[in-house]
C-alpha cells in the first residue's frame, strides 16, 4: 500500500485503488493525448481514473493546466498560465463525440489573470459541446469567479444541466486550505446557480481536522442556498508539500454522513472515501 506523508503511516485497506487499465481506459487516454487535452483525472491525481475512464467518462479541464491560485490541498500546477487557446472548445467537443460520452464533466483551473475569469471561454466550450453533441448532458465544476455575478451568469446562460462549485471544507479551515476563495462567497455562487433553476452541487473533503458538528453545519448552509447535491470524499495529500492528512475517515462514517444528508433534504449525497466531486456525476443529472 501507498505510504502517507504524515508520520510514515500507511493507507488503510479501504483506500486501496485499482491500477488503471482496460480497453476503454486506453481509448480515453489516447484521445486525451491525441487532442492535447487536460483532464482533472490526471492533473488532480484522482483515485478513480481507472474506474471512470473504463466507463468512457472523463472530466476535462479547460483553460490550460496552470492555476493562478495555490490551494494547500490541490495537486494542480500553480503559476503563470499560458495564453488562452481558443481552439480548445472545438477539440473537447470533437473528443466528446469520438469517445461517445453521454454525460460530460468540465472543470477548469482558476484564471484570475483574465478580466472575466475565463467565463466567456467557459460559455464557448459548453455551447460547442452541445452543438456537436446535442444529446450529451453537461456538468460544469466552476471556480468562484470572485463572485462576479455577470461572469457566473455566462456559464448559467450556456445551459449546462448541472453546475457544481465546491466548498472543499468547513468554514474554520477554509482560510488555511483555500488560497483566495472564501466560504461565504462560495455559498453566494451556489445561491445564484440554484436560483437560476439549474441543479446546484457542491462537495467537501474529510480528514483535514474538521469536526462532526462542522460537517453538519456545512450541510445546513448548502441547503439554505438551494444546493441539493453533495459529494463527500477523503482528502489525500498530493505531495509532502501539501497539507498532511489528519485522519482517515472510515467507510462507515461516510455512510453515516450520506444518511444524515439525505434526511436533511439533499436529493443526492455521494459519500465514501474515494468519492471525488465528479465521480459518477451522471447520477446527479436528474436530481433537481
Rounded Cα–Cα distance for residues 91 and 136 (Å): 16
Q: Which three cell numbers stand for residue 101?
A: 460520452
pLDDT digits (tens, 9 = 90+) for 124-153: 999 999 999 999 999 999 999 999 999 999
State whether residue 27 is helix, strand or coil: helix
pLDDT digits (tens, 9 = 90+) for 254-267: 999 999 999 999 99
Q: Which three cell numbers stand for residue 241?
A: 508539500
Other C-beta atoms lying within 10 Å of the C-beta of residue 264? 14
Rounded to two decimals, the pTM is 0.84
Cβ neighbors of 273 (< 8 A, separation 6 or more) are 14, 15, 233, 234, 248, 249, 251, 254
pLDDT of 102: 82
Q: 16-284 is classed in which CATH architecture?
A: Alpha-Beta Barrel (3.20)
pLDDT digits (tens, 9 = 90+) for 60-89: 889 988 887 777 767 677 788 889 999 999
pLDDT of 40: 52
Q: Where are the domains of the chain?
A: 16-284
119 band by pLDDT with thresholds 50, 70 and 90: very high
Rounded Cα–Cα distance for residues 176 and 203 (Å): 17
pLDDT of 1: 34
Q: Cα–Cα distances in Å, from 196 out to 11, 112, 165, 227? A: 42, 24, 15, 12
Strand order in the sheet with 162-164: 59-62, 103-108, 137-141, 162-164, 199-206, 229-234, 268-271
On the question of pLDDT at 42 being above 80, the answer is no
pLDDT digits (tens, 9 = 90+) for 85-108: 999 999 999 988 988 788 889 999
Amino acid at each position: 500500500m501507498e505510504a502517507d506523508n504524515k508520520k510514515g503511516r500507511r493507507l488503510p485497506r479501504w483506500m486501496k485503488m485499482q491500477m488503471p487499465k482496460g480497453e476503454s481506459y486506453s481509448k480515453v487516454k489516447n484521445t486525451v493525448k491525441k487532442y492535447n487535452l487536460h483532464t482533472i483525472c490526471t492533473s488532480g491525481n484522482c483515485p478513480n481514473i481507472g474506474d471512470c475512464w473504463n466507463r468512457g467518462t472523463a472530466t476535462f479541464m479547460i483553460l490550460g493546466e496552470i492555476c493562478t491560485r495555490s490551494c494547500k490541498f490541490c495537486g494542480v500546477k500553480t503559476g503563470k498560465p499560458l495564453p488562452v487557446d481558443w481552439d480548445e472548445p472545438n477539440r473537447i467537443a470533437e473528443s466528446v463525440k469520438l469517445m461517445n460520452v453521454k454525460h460530460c464533466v468540465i472543470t477548469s483551473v482558476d484564471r484570475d489573470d483574465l478580466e472575466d475569469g475565463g467565463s466567456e471561454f467557459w460559455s464557448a466550450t459548453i455551447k460547442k459541446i452541445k452543438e456537436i453533441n446535442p444529446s450529451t448532458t453537461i456538468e460544469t465544476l466552476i471556480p468562484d469567479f470572485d463572485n462576479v455575478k455577470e461572469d457566473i451568469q455566462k456559464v448559467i446562460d450556456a445551459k449546462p444541466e448541472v453546475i457544481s462549485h465546491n466548498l472543499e471544507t468547513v468554514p474554520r479551515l477554509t482560510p488555511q486550505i483555500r488560497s483566495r476563495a472564501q466560504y461565504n462567497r462560495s455559498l453566494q455562487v451556489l445561491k445564484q446557480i440554484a436560483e437560476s433553476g439549474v441543479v446546484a452541487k457542491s462537495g467537501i473533503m474529510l480528514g483535514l481536522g474538521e469536526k462532526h458538528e462542522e460537517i453538519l453545519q456545512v450541510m445546513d448552509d448548502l441547503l439554505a442556498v438551494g444546493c441539493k447535491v453533495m459529494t463527500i470524499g477523503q482528502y489525500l495529500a498530493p505531495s509532502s508539500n501539501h497539507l498532511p492528512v489528519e485522519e482517515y475517515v472510515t467507510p462507515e462514517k461516510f455512510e453515516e454522513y450520506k444518511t444524515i444528508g439525505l434526511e436533511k433534504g439533499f436529493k443526492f449525497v455521494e459519500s465514501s472515501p474515494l468519492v471525488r466531486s465528479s465521480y459518477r456525476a451522471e447520477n446527479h443529472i436528474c436530481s433537481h
